[in-house]
Every structure is written in structure tokens, then in C-alpha cells.
Structure 1
Amino acid sequence: METTTTTPITTTAAGLRYGLLTGLVSIIFTFVLFAIGQEGNSGLASIAFAILIIGIVLAHKAFKATNEGYMSYGQGLGIGVLAGGINGFLSTVFSYVYRTFIDPDMVARMMDQMRTKLEAAGSMSEAQIEQMVNASTKYTTGAIGLAIGIVSGFFMGLVFSLVIAAITKNARPEFE
């Protein structure tokens, strides 16, 4: 009778692997949103959070499968933050490339939609609306937009992992 053993994977390997997979799924989802003209639909865009959550859960499951079913809270947190950061990096770079080279008019359309919504609300003056639109344009394009997107990816990975790791952890017994 042969015994098969699986080589345990590290937290870094699990985070990278599932960050890449989650990032690719997020890119495909984002491309579909852009292609159908729903880039400003916050309801559909929230599905991106579900994609990240599922990716983190699957990464934890894969890590535990090769580590005798054990994963500490810290390991789960590290896996999730890395997966979220990789996902955020890939998604942000894709969005930047799309807005810069494929559809350069997209930012202007989004800012027009924002202006229309703010004017319809009627709670801001024209100068305030213009200031808000200009600030939004500045923070969603160029290097600042890239940096914010990448940091946001790590932050979302942290926030989701704080909860997910608490649920999926299975600490190794101290005296085994």
C-alpha cells in the first residue's frame, strides 16, 4: 500500500496563486461591465467584492488541504491580504490600460454621469459640483489612480480577511 503525501504550500504561494486567479476573473468581469456600458453601475460593480471574497475562501481551503487541515488566523490573514493586493494590482492596471488606450472617452462619460447625478440631487452649487468632478478625475486617472487602486486592493483584502480568516481558521493543537 502506497502512501501519498502532498507537499504543503506556503501562505505566499496560496496568496499569489489565488490572487492571480481572482485578478483574472475580476479583469474578465470588469471588461464585461465596460463592454456593456455599465461601468458606473455600483450594484453590478459590487459583484467584484464577491469575487474577491470567494477567492480568499478558496485560497484558505487550498492552503488547509495541503497543511493537514490546519491554518492559523495569521496565516489566513496573510493569504487574504496578498490575494487582495494581487487582485487589486491586476484590476487597477487593466482599468488604467482600458481607460488610457482602449476607451479614452470613458472617464469623460463617467464624470458627465457624476455631474448629472449631483445636479439632480440639487444639494450643491455649480462651483462645488465642478470642484468635485475635477477632484474625482484627478484621483481616478494617472499615477494617483494607479496607486489608490493598488492600495485599495490590499486594504480590501485586509478587511475581508479579518472576518474570513476568523471563520476558516483551524489552529494546530499546541501539544500534539
Structure 2
Amino acid sequence: MTEKEPSVSSVALKWGFIFALVGVVFTLILMIAGLAENRWLSSLSYIILIAGIVIAMKNYKSQNYGYMSYGQGLGIGSLVSAIYGFLSGLVSWLYIEFVDPAYMTRVMDKQREAMITQGLTDEQIDAAVAMAENFQGPVTMILGATVITLRLFRVV
């Protein structure tokens, strides 16, 4: 009698939700503390994602007697990344929309100051701000976060 192979999706969903929750809490702490614009601290959320992918893959391999094909690993990593990105985008949008509506204004003001320091003209700054405002809706924030984390997984 052969043992049943574990499900890629069940392992990925379990660890994807666990690590997405950790990442969301970390990101919310940064946003509330006003540290989300700190690139070094914000990049630590990617370490959380990578840890989630690695642990999910190790868990799958241990359930499957030490074997995991390339396709199974790719599936696990993609699902964990998609869950992480989707939940991160959703919670960020909810926070910005309902908890701290002035958050994006503060971020845009800092970006405007950085562009002035770089020597951009008023027209260039206005165009950049207008473009950034197009990406502040719920769909673009949630899908954007999902796509970004999926692209990160492809790089790793």
C-alpha cells in the first residue's frame, strides 16, 4: 500500500496564511510607528515572506519523505507569495482607507520633498504625483501587492 502524497495547496495555504499574518502585523506596526517609509525596515517584511516559503517547502518535503519536485516547490512558493501579497495589500488598503486616511498624504509629501531635492521641475513632480494617485485605489493596491510579491518569488 502506497502512502498518499501531501497536497501542495494545503501546505502552501497553511504557511501562506501564517506568515502573511506575521507580515501584516509587522507592516502595521511600522505604519503606526511612522517607520514604513524606512526602506531598510520595510524590506524586513520580505525576509518574513522568504522564511514562510522556506518553511512551507521544508514542511512539504518532510511530509513527502524528503522529496519535492521543482514544480511542487514552484507551486508552494507561488501560492505562499500570492497569499502573502494579497493579504498585505488588503490590510494596507484597509488601514489607509479607514484607520489613517492621512497616511498617503504624508507619504506623498515626503516623496514630493525627495523629488524637489533631486532637482525635478514642478511639471515633473506634478506628473509623478498624479501617476502615483492612480495607484491608490483598493484594486490596484491589493493586486499590486500580490503581483510584487509574486515577482519577488521569481527573483529568489
Normalised-by-shorter TM-score class: over 0.9
* CA pair 38-141 structure 1, distance change in 2 beyond 3 A: farther
The ranges of structure 1 where at least 4 consecutive aligned residues each deviate by more than 3 angstroms after the TM superposition are none
Q: What does residue 13 of structure 2 align with?
A: 16
1:114 is aligned to 2:111: yes
Which protein has greater RCO, CA pairs closer than 8 Å, 6+ apart?
1
Q: Aligned partners of 2:111 and 2:137: how far apart in 1?
A: 15
**How much identity, in percent, do the aligned residues show?**
35
Q: What does residue 147 of structure 1 align with?
A: 143
Q: Aligned partners of 1:156 and 1:140: how far apart in 2?
A: 21
Q: Aligned partners of 1:113 and 1:141: how far apart in 2?
A: 20
Q: Aligned partners of 2:125 and 2:80: how far apart in 1?
A: 36
Q: 2:71 aligns with which of 55, 58, 74?
A: 74
Q: Is the 8 A contact 1:84 1:158 kept in 2?
A: no
- Displacement of 1:40 after TM fit? 1.0
Larger gyration radius, structure 1 or structure 2: 1
Q: Is the 8 A contact 2:61 2:67 kept in 1?
A: yes
Alpha-carbon deviations, 1:21-73, whole Å to 9, x = none?
11101111001101110121111111011111110000011001110000011
Q: 1:63 aligns with which of 60, 65, 82?
A: 60
The SS at the match of 2:135 is: helix
Q: Is the 8 A contact 2:90 2:138 kept in 1?
A: no
- CA RMSD, aligned part only? 1.5
Alpha-carbon deviations, 1:67-87, whole Å to 9, x = none?
000001111011000000000
- Displacement of 1:7 after TM fit? 6.4
Alpha-carbon deviations, 1:105-137, whole Å to 9, x = none?
000000000000110111x11110111012112
Alignment of 1:88-103 (within 5 A): 88-103=85-100
**TM-score under structure 1 normalisation?**
0.83
**TM-score under structure 2 normalisation?**
0.93
1:129 is aligned to 2:133: no
Q: Aligned partners of 1:144 and 1:92: how far apart in 2?
A: 9
Q: 1:50 aligns with which of 47, 50, 65?
A: 47
